[in-house]
Structure 1
Amino acid sequence: MSAAEVSVSDRFDWFVDAVSSALMPSTMIAENPGGFYAEGGLLNTGPVQVSRFSYSPLRSRRTPRLIRRGDPEQYQLALVTRGTAWFAQDHSEAEIRAGGMVLWDTSRPYESASGLDGRDVEAFVLQIPKERMALPSQQVDRLLAQRIPAGTGVGAILSQFLVSLADNGPDCRPQELAGLGNMAVELAASCLTQQLGTVREQPAELRAHVLLRRINTFIEHNLADPELTPRAIADHHHISLRTLYLLFQNQEESVAATIRRRRLEHCHADLANPRLRDQPVHAIAARWGFTQPAAFSRAFRTTYCTTPTEHRHHSPASQ
């Protein structure tokens, strides 16, 4: 989308509406509203959204009132690829030049200024729902409005990935985009962890939390694989089976129960999907890793107190 398609007098208002809709409600003041320039694009990968904006110098502010008006409850990580920008949040502030990144929390007030040198700015923004962030909030809070280098290490890999994702993502299929979105979240978490210090320097509790989130993500991505077992999960993450069981010791369910529940939830949703009514029950079960129809039916009935066929027949879509 481009402001060039909008009349000159309306371009700044168009950009404010576009950013407020794509990212979060904010107030903005342009240095030159009459000659304002902006272009933008959005890529929805499923778990996260990647936005790219190029725009003229402006100032932006997010107040408690605007937060009450709309809060996507996200961490937003911006990569500045042209121009300069300044961000302030939670008693921290940082000036970001091309090649740098900065993180902010949509649930907190913030201020920013772009184009400090009078030039247009280009930035890529990765929007990560807070529930998908693999780091505890008290750790992430230490990085708000702090400059995050993107020239070496994981930061460089993440920045290059974001640019490539924005450029090539529109040519990918939805299922491919979902996988790429999860990769972006993992890279972002690794980058932030690197900023906090090396993994070995992190408290054991934090390392366990990060590893558990990675394992849960791995499980979700591989539910269709009938070979997804606790042993396979432990081997993939280079840990012992005992370590894996200890990670889940304080969770509400065991690792095997987690796999079974998530598979059943997907089957439950697919059986109620009118677009899948022509697919046999056993085919849907197999899609989510259940290779034995009888075992699937028993597990489904135990969990939902009805058979898969009865659930499909009584779902609202079949009425």
Structure 2
Amino acid sequence: MNKITIIGAGRVGETTAQILAEKELCREIALLDVREGIPEGIALDILQTGPFFEFDCSVNGSNDPQILRDSELVIVTAGLARKPGMSRSDVLEANVRIIDAVTDQILEYAPDAMVLMVSNPVDTLTYRFAQRSGWERRRIFGQAGVLDASRMASFIAQETGFSTLDITTMVLGGHGDTMVPVPRFCTINGIPISTFISEERIAAIMERTRQGGAEILALRKNSSAYDAPGAAVAAMVDAIVNNRRRLLSCVALLEGEYGETDLAMGVPCILGEKGMESIVELSLNPGERADFDRSVASVRGDIDRLRAISSTQELE
């Protein structure tokens, strides 16, 4: 890939840019942010790590949205970060306004790009971008389940003492308190985790996964997570750039899959050079389906709030 632009040079955006540069996943990385001097300073700082990490892709920053030109992929991390005690949905109203402005910039300067949404609440904002842009769904996807699955895998590794390299996990649903970790599809080198972990401890791991972001936010106090989110975004970019066709849980627009339409939320997707190439429908048992339906209801609640916010904005 020639050019990737990251909108939002906060901690997630900066970490993502650093990892993309180190992995040389494109020839040019651009950082766009409204704060004067910030994207240029971050770009220069990252560029100067090149001799240590042995990469030579260019890294640039700007406040001018024209830096989006020729981008093949746009990663959106811009928005208000939540504070301790806040849910991802609590920042919806502020972030909708930001994402609407970002969407218009992408439509003007990078109309042929793919968009990877990271800003929260990611399910609702991915949906918002799709509605405002009118693009086909393969070009629009969000980061959620990749991060949630990595958190769950880390917790399983802590519990069992096994290497995270052998642990595979699956998390569905909205990226929030109603996310759906699915232990039936979680394995250690192909062996179900129930072989090694009691039902009680699995339930505790599932709940800790749901609260994974809040746990870090409560501990750090002045910042939400950014290292693992940046790594999760880089994993998705790697799947696209190298056409790996990886099966990853991503926020995708549903068109009848799992019995749902007019909705964006986390489901297993095939990611390749064309973007979100297809959705894999898992056969959920009654308990999993009930959890999934609760997550659907939560995301739809945010979409209803989104519509109310839009109506208010139109009247202003």
TM-score (norm 2): 0.26
Structure possessing the higher radius of gyration over alpha carbons: 1
TM-score (norm 1): 0.26
